[in-house]
Amino acid sequence: MRPGIARMSGADVHFDDGARAPFDVIIQATGYRPSLRSLLPDHQGVLDRSGAPIVCGRPTGHPGLFFCGHIAVATGQLREIGLEAERIAATIRAGASGEFD
């Protein structure tokens, strides 16, 4: 693993630090760090320091606001999204969020 690709020529990759090496394959992993702060500037207490939801698939500290699919799990993201969506729907049906009575 190396950061900072300056340029590529043929099979050679030239790095920002001046190093050069030949590669058959390059996989760029940019990471995934969602921040919802710009979308929810007035919703204090629902996002952590990085801007990710504090809770997912359950009621948040703001009535009627739910997050789904923001927590990565080893059992499979699509499976977890389905489970979270079912919990959210059940909460809304039950009126537990306070806003859907």
Encoding tokens for residue 98?
């306070």
pLDDT for 73 equals 86
The pLDDT confidence band at residue 31, using thresholds 50, 70 and 90, is low
DSSP state of 80: H
pTM for the structure as a whole: 0.61
Cβ partners under 8 Å of residue 55, min gap 6: 46, 67
Q: What's the mean per-residue pLDDT of the chain?
A: 83
